[in-house]
Amino acid sequence: MNSTEIKYIARACSIADKILKQLIKELKQRKFKTELDIYNFLKQKTKENKCKLAFKPVVAMGKNAAEIHHKASNSRLKKGFLVIDFGVKYKDYCSDCTRTFYLYGKPSAEEKELYNLVLEAQTTALNHARPGVAAADIDLIARAALWKHFKNFVHGTGHGVGRKIHQGPNLKPKGKLKLKENQAITIEPGLYFKNKLGIRIEDTIIVKESPVILTKISKKLIII
């Protein structure tokens, strides 16, 4: 990607960060009752920022988050993990960010451990996303960090981002391409337990010798 394209993606990420920070503030004030309330908030704020949605946001409460591409519904917000997968388009370039929050109480020791495992996998894979590294190796690094629950990590570790929200390279077990300098990619490992919960953490980054994270909102577990 050239410097202009990177600038547009960075701006898209910055706008998404701002909207997610606004969302956290509203969540703390308990302004929302359902997943759809949050979905509509994200849609409205995107419009207010003169952008378009990069994709339909995923807003998944509790067991709904075990569905990777869950469609926001009238499911009520309650105690547990809330997964938000969100991005905007700025000048036709996309951002992509996922954060997992914990609503209305304290997470159990097991829930904290699962979250920290995903965060460790995400951070470790991200730090290895350098030019010349095979996309499949980044996926392997993330899976190695989640080896205790490898059956519960059911999608690739990431994908390219640009004018399209999903484009090459694909960070999957059979991904044959090597990462190139200045590519925009996502790193998004997750764990999914059917009828129980889901946790995913995702950043959009630029591939460099020291990878540049464009989605800057905190990855520390926010408890609301």
Neighbours of 124 (CB within 10 A): 16
Q: Outline where 29-99 has alpha helix (H).
A: 35-48
> What's the CATH superfamily of 3-213?
Creatinase/methionine aminopeptidase superfamily (3.90.230.10)
User: How do residues 155-193 score in pLDDT, each as one tens digit?
Assistant: 999 999 999 999 999 999 987 899 999 999 999 999 999
User: How do residues 51-102 score in pLDDT, each as one tens digit?
Assistant: 999 999 999 999 999 999 999 999 999 999 999 999 999 999 999 999 999 9
Neighbours of 149 (CB within 10 A): 15
Rg from Cα positions in the chain: 16
- Give the span between the Cα atoms of 224 and 214, in whole angstroms: 25
Backbone angles phi, psi at 102, to 5 degrees: -120, 120
User: How do residues 128-157 score in pLDDT, each as one tens digit?
Assistant: 999 999 999 999 999 999 999 999 999 999
Backbone angles phi, psi at 88, to 5 degrees: -120, 165
Q: What is the reported pLDDT for 175? A: 76
- Give the span between the Cα atoms of 57 and 71, in whole angstroms: 8
- Give the span between the Cα atoms of 21 and 99, in whole angstroms: 11
Question: Would you say the pTM of this structure is higher than 0.95?
Answer: yes
Contact (CB, 8 A) for 129 and 205 = yes
Neighbours of 92 (CB within 10 A): 12
Residues in contact with 210: Cβ distance below 8 Å, sequence separation at least 6, in sequence order: none
Contact (CB, 8 A) for 219 and 124 = no
Q: Considering the chain, what is the average pLDDT of its residues?
A: 97
Backbone angles phi, psi at 56, to 5 degrees: -70, 120
Where exactly are the structural domains of the chain?
Answer: 3-213
Residues in contact with 183: Cβ distance below 8 Å, sequence separation at least 6, in sequence order: 1, 160, 169, 206, 207
